[in-house]
């Protein structure tokens, strides 16, 4: 079985992926209880309402947790540099898993401020990633 590194799109997530292709980080907000909802889904996990609306995040947040991956996903990857993967707490009140890129003076740490940027892979997929905010 061939490893697939392409995220899957569905009717519930298509607006999110389209926003990423446009350089916008989108999330849902429940119009019934007001909670931010991420990852995209058809109903609010807090109150079960289906009254969800898309909003654009400012893309600023802080590192909630992170780890460093030292091995490639596939053995065929010859040149591999360790990468940082983390959970980011966005200012709008939701968390998301993403890669943290770039060199940070003093290293990465929980609570460090980050901002989103968009990595266009050239295959129709654009991934939101984060870098340390200056």
Q: pTM score, two decimals? A: 0.88
> What pLDDT shows up at residue 1?
40
Say how far apart CA 117 and CA 25 lie, in whole Å: 9
Average pLDDT rounded to a whole number, residues 94-120: 92
> What pLDDT shows up at residue 127?
95
Average pLDDT rounded to a whole number, residues 66-90: 83
- DSSP conformation class of 82: -
pLDDT in tens, 97-109: 999 998 777 789 9
> What pLDDT shows up at residue 77?
66
Residues with Cβ within 8 Å of 71's Cβ and at least 6 positions away in sequence, in order, are 80
> What pLDDT shows up at residue 102?
83
> What pLDDT shows up at residue 11?
92
> What pLDDT shows up at residue 3?
45
Confidence of residue 4 (pLDDT cuts 50, 70, 90): low
What is the chain's mean pLDDT, rounded?
91
Burial of 79 (0-12, 13-18, 19+ CB in 10 A): exposed
| Cα three-residue angle 130-30-126, rounded to 5 degrees | 30
> What pLDDT shows up at residue 2?
45
The domains of the chain, with CATH numbers, are 14-132 (2.40.50.840)
Say how far apart CA 98 and CA 114 lie, in whole Å: 11
Q: Are the C-beta atoms of 103 and 83 separated by less than 8 Å?
A: no
**55 C-beta neighbours (distance < 10 Å), count:** 13
């Amino acid at each position: 079985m061939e490893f697939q590194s392409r995220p899957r799109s569905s009717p519930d997530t298509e607006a999110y992926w389209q926003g990423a292709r446009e350089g916008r980080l989108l999330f849902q907000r429940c119009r019934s209880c007001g909670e931010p909802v991420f990852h995209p889904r058809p109903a609010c996990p807090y109150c079960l309402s289906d009254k969800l609306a898309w909003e654009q995040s400012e893309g600023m947040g802080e590192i909630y947790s992170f780890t460093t991956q030292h091995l490639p996903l596939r053995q065929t990857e010859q040149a591999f540099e360790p990468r940082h993967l983390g959970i980011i707490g966005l200012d709008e009140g939701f968390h998301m898993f993403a890669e943290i890129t770039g060199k940070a003076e003093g290293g990465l740490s929980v609570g460090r401020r980050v901002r989103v940027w968009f990595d266009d892979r050239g295959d129709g997929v654009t991934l939101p990633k984060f870098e340390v905010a200056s």
